Amino acid sequence: MSRIYLDHNASTPVRPEVLEAMLPYFGEHFGNASSVHAFGQEAKGAVEDARAQVAALLNATPGEIVFTSGGTESDNIGVIGGAKALPFKGRHIIVSAIEHDAVRHAADALEREGYTVTRVAPDARGVVSAESVAAAIRPDTALVSVMAANNETGVAQPVAEIGAVCATRGVAFHVDAVQAAGKIPIDVQAWQATLATIAGHKFYGPKGVGALYVKRGFKPVPLQFGGEHEKGRRPGTENVPAIVGLGKASELAREELDQNGPRIGRLRDRLETGLLERVPGVVRHGQGAPRVPNTSHLSFVGAEGEHLILSLDMKGVAVSSGAACKA
């Protein structure tokens, strides 16, 4: 039985070009990127090449890119480390009510430490407006975190408008761009972001690697302790093969974005139109809102989610009823 995979927001396969770029760093180029000898400098050169590739995807400079173990760690550093870097601002943060658990639970952790957290709800389309964020900002607000695109609905958030509000009010702005990478343009300059997160396995890179954009001059408080890796921002020996893979995936995503986005969007629209025409009781969520091109969020009235997933799986079609992190 042939199988159809429709769960790319949970994880994507590693592209052959990405795997090919990674393989030498599991073998002959095995050096520690912190070592000063030739083996180490060879690995360090590969890490720095990848840093430049990721920076180009985000419209950042290489020095603003910090490699991490993935989206969760990057979000945790962005929210917790970002808020704690600004004690003079206050102990109030704002997150949207539709954030991924990596942001949501990071905010919960700060709340347990005595921070006040405001959770801004979206409108009926799933959009968190800049006006609602602006209304929630207080004199003691240190940080705002709003995702670029929702991992379940695919609704793109007005992060450039929110970023402009934060910049005007002097508030740090973190963007979880995990579900935007490779699907819509990421521009941390246009977004006026202070921090931004991506994860390799969401756009055909390997699992276990991510990056955090940190605006030049901003210094999030580290959440773990060790060596001076990543300029002291994230200690721990660099995962060179995975970082190389993230870099290659970033390069491919940047090169192919203009071509792939519209093509995938047409396929999504064709799927949704067919289901709406042929299946009674289908509800399409996010209608009227901007969405990333690869994501359909549909309800089937009267159908139980888990049963539907298992039935489709038996037919060779893989889908999801929510975030994989909640499974």
Same structural domain for residues 232 and 267? no
**End residue of a domain, out of 205, 238, 271:** 238
Outline where DSSP puts E strands in 34-183. Answer: 65-68, 92-96, 116-120, 141-145, 172-176
**End residue of a domain, out of 238, 271, 305:** 238
Same structural domain for residues 199 and 275? no
Same structural domain for residues 154 and 279? no
Q: Give the confidence band of 325 by pLDDT, cuts at 50, 70, 90.
A: low
Q: How many domains in the chain?
A: 2
Residues in CB range of 243: below 8 A, 6 or more apart: 46, 47, 50, 67, 209
Q: Specify the pLDDT at position 161.
A: 98
Same structural domain for residues 232 and 270? no
Which amino acid appears at position 303 of this protein?
A
Q: Choose between 110 and 287: higher pLDDT.
A: 110
Same structural domain for residues 150 and 113? yes
200 with 210: CB under 8 angstroms?
Answer: yes
Active site residue 325: yes
Q: What is the CATH number of the domain that holds 315?
A: 3.90.1150.10
Write the pLDDT tens digit of every residue in 136-191: 999 999 999 999 999 999 999 999 999 999 999 999 999 999 999 999 999 999 99
Q: Specify the pLDDT at position 242.
A: 98
54 domain-assigned = no
Active-site residue among 41, 190, 325, 326? 325
Same structural domain for residues 86 and 211? yes
Counting Cβ atoms within 10 Å, is residue 49 exposed (0-12), middle (13-18) or buried (19+)?
middle
Residues in CB range of 257: below 8 A, 6 or more apart: 182, 183, 184, 185
**End residue of a domain, out of 186, 204, 238:** 238
291 domain-assigned = yes
Same structural domain for residues 104 and 222? yes
Q: What is the CATH number of the domain that holds 215?
A: 3.40.640.10
Write the pLDDT tens digit of every residue in 37-56: 999 999 999 999 999 999 99
Q: Specify the pLDDT at position 62.
A: 98
User: Against a cut of 0.85, is the pTM above it?
Assistant: yes
254 domain-assigned = no
Residues in CB range of 187: below 8 A, 6 or more apart: 58, 59, 160
Across residues 20-49, what is the average pLDDT? 94
Write the pLDDT tens digit of every residue in 204-248: 999 999 999 999 999 999 999 998 898 888 989 999 999 999 999
**In terms of residue numbers, what domain contains 303?**
4-14+259-326
Same structural domain for residues 120 and 228? yes
20 domain-assigned = no
Same structural domain for residues 234 and 263? no
118 domain-assigned = yes
- The rounded distance, in Å, linking the Cα atoms of 260 and 264 is 6
206 domain-assigned = yes
Three-class SS state of 105: helix
Same structural domain for residues 321 and 270? yes
249 domain-assigned = no
55 domain-assigned = no
Same structural domain for residues 160 and 305? no
Same structural domain for residues 206 and 272? no
CA distances to 46, 250, 251 from 181, rounded to whole Å, are 21, 8, 11
Token code pair at residue 170? 């002097």
